[in-house]
Chains A and B, each alone.
Chain A
């Protein structure tokens, strides 16, 4: 009677039940629709201390299944409370075992967890799902972070009358809004390519005793990321045991000095501006003095008259300084901007580092000289492979992306290639491709290459700046290349930080590159060109 007379809605709503209906988080598939991230139901065990008959027996029985220690269980069960959450993430088998014991005062609640069939194969790419301040699920890092709103979906609810026992009555007032499940992502990543590069990276870090490493494989024609692995990484199932440093994806979140792998950009810029021609020659006599700084070739050997191609082949620093002078300071800055080294790539992963170049008035003559051979400039690996792909795809700078398709319950959205701008002409692109092919064929170092295939690329060995000066024994060794020559199917960037067995990219990162290329030729069924 009181309820009828009172206009207070809180009293009227006493018999109305409101239950949240959580949406299912979207799944993540590789490009062949094989799942990388799925959902699984686990259980939270709770106790209602007031309903427990014999606490000691209960603890003993629970510990016989859970094996977390009787003392831990006892400490958790607070007799003064009505409801206590005891253990989270219990598997179905354990739940069944506990239920068979028919213990009083316990219960289970469903919990949704992420499940990774391929374990941590793409940990940095996928990111993980954790909790926010309110205890709700939220995606952190990588795809889980970037696409959190798409993946998480919209919560539904059910509002209906209840009887005295708290059961729903489906007559009278009721309202139900179905949850909208999260959208699923289909990636550009190929699970097999990811497995290949991760395996090779593991072996490479071991073999060359390097501290860290990254490998990125992209399709240069549409900037789809086919594989991306950085190590050390972390265990997705036990992310909470790792510090935040492990979560950072060095491929997008860290900058490095690219060293000689940067030379093709300056060479291509000079060719594009008609400041040099591919058959021009340069007289490589000796080292060059710029202010107080002396610039030498890496082995301090000078060949005299050499072609532009030879400058790349022997990775001549002095030759590159000559080309830089021909190109001019303003053009250097213009092309750094054009290649995207002054802006982020906008890749669809959370945590891309904002990396801006120095202001134009902060560039000194030595900076213009060293940038020609990739020192004194910091780039992210993803910027590097994005710009490099434009060198070999005819001159189109594209936005790299990891997601190929977003699937919701009622439609599918395809994500196509996005051209940002033209960096160089098609003609320049053809010339630089030829030069890069020649660099691999006639370079200083003879690698064991896959026979019959034409591969283009460039090594890089950059000293690491420590407290304002370069440490000669600590380097970043890298190799960037593409294959097959005529119609490139993939570009690969291999980076090793501080390799110990050899400091040179030609002796560490390059063999890893050729090893990966060999496996990719087999995987993609690419026929030899020669």
Chain B
């Protein structure tokens, strides 16, 4: 009886040890996963903010005005007529 009791205590200690190691390894694994997902989230956030910045940059008045200047969309660009408009000018 005593022997069985002793044996069961050893067994339970052993089981607890296994469970402990199992939990510890799982904890390590979980922490690695958390770190991985946190990193991925950060990367996504960064990518998102970069895209947002790019979107606002091409949507900015500065960008539009520089493009307008590049394409010569300005007040000075009067229409150029190949023929004189005789009828429209009542002549």
Q: Which residues of A in the span 5-49 have a Cβ within 8 Å of any Cβ on B?
A: 34-35, 38-41
Q: Which residue of A lies closest to B55 (CB)?
A: A117
* Residues of chain B lying within 8 A (CB to CB) of residue A115: 53
Q: A118-B60, A171-B27 are in contact. Are A38 and B52 (CB under 8 A)?
A: yes
Q: Which residues of A in the span 142-177 have a Cβ within 8 Å of any Cβ on B?
A: 163, 167-171
A92 at the interface (CB under 8 A from B): yes
* Residues of chain B lying within 8 A (CB to CB) of residue A441: none
| Partner-binding segment picked from B7-15, B28-36, B68-76, B79-87 | B28-36
Whether B61 and A191, one on each chain, are in contact in the complex, defined by CB atoms closer than 8 angstroms, is yes
Whether A170 and B57, one on each chain, are in contact in the complex, defined by CB atoms closer than 8 angstroms, is no
Q: Interface residues of B toward A: which range?
A: 20 to 34
Q: Most chain-B CB neighbours within 10 Å: which of A92, A110, A171, A191? A: A171
Q: A38-B53, A38-B56, A40-B49 are in contact. Are A118 and B62 (CB under 8 A)?
A: yes
Interface of B is mostly: helix
Number of A interface residues, CB 8 Å?
22
Whether A169 and B28, one on each chain, are in contact in the complex, defined by CB atoms closer than 8 angstroms, is yes
CA distance A40 to B65 in the complex (A): 23
Q: A41-B50, A167-B35 are in contact. Are A118 and B24 (CB under 8 A)?
A: no
Whether A192 and B49, one on each chain, are in contact in the complex, defined by CB atoms closer than 8 angstroms, is no
* Residues of chain B lying within 8 A (CB to CB) of residue A117: 53, 56-57, 59-60, 62
* Residues of chain B lying within 8 A (CB to CB) of residue A192: 61
Whether A170 and B30, one on each chain, are in contact in the complex, defined by CB atoms closer than 8 angstroms, is yes
* Residues of chain B lying within 8 A (CB to CB) of residue A191: 61
* Residues of chain A lying within 8 A (CB to CB) of residue B46: 41, 92, 110
CB of A523, distance to nearest CB on chain B (Å)? 12
* Residues of chain B lying within 8 A (CB to CB) of residue A34: 56, 59
CB within 8 A of B61: which of A38, A167, A195? A195
B18 at the interface (CB under 8 A from A): no
Q: Which residue of B lies closest to A92 (CB)?
A: B50
Whether B61 and A168, one on each chain, are in contact in the complex, defined by CB atoms closer than 8 angstroms, is no
B23 at the interface (CB under 8 A from A): yes
CA distance A146 to B17 in the complex (A): 59
CA distance A35 to B57 in the complex (A): 10
A99 at the interface (CB under 8 A from B): no
* Residues of chain B lying within 8 A (CB to CB) of residue A290: none
* Residues of chain A lying within 8 A (CB to CB) of residue B31: 167-171
CA distance A39 to B34 in the complex (A): 25
Q: A38-B56, A41-B46, A41-B49 are in contact. Are A163 and B28 (CB under 8 A)?
A: yes
CB within 8 A of A119: which of B32, B49, B52, B62? B62
Q: Which residue of A lies closest to B66 (CB)?
A: A119
CB of B52, distance to nearest CB on chain A (Å)? 7
Whether B62 and A121, one on each chain, are in contact in the complex, defined by CB atoms closer than 8 angstroms, is yes
Q: Which residue of B lies closest to A194 (CB)?
A: B61
Residue interface mask A372-400, B partner, CB < 8 A = 1 = 00000000000000000000000000000
Q: Which residue of B lies closest to A199 (CB)?
A: B65
Q: A39-B49, A40-B50, A92-B50 are in contact. Are A169 and B27 (CB under 8 A)?
A: yes
* Residues of chain A lying within 8 A (CB to CB) of residue B49: 38-41
CB of B41, distance to nearest CB on chain A (Å)? 13
Task: Give chain B's interface residues, CB within 8 Å of chain A.
Answer: 23-24, 27-28, 30-32, 34-35, 46, 49-50, 52-53, 56-57, 59-62, 65
Task: Give chain A's interface residues, CB within 8 Å of chain B.
Answer: 34-35, 38-41, 92, 110, 115, 117-119, 121, 163, 167-171, 191-192, 195
Could you give 27 example pairs across A and B, Cβ below 8 Å?
A34-B59, A35-B56, A38-B49, A38-B52, A39-B49, A40-B49, A40-B50, A40-B53, A41-B49, A92-B46, A92-B50, A115-B53, A117-B53, A118-B60, A118-B61, A118-B62, A119-B62, A121-B61, A163-B28, A167-B32, A168-B35, A169-B27, A169-B31, A170-B30, A171-B27, A171-B31, A195-B61
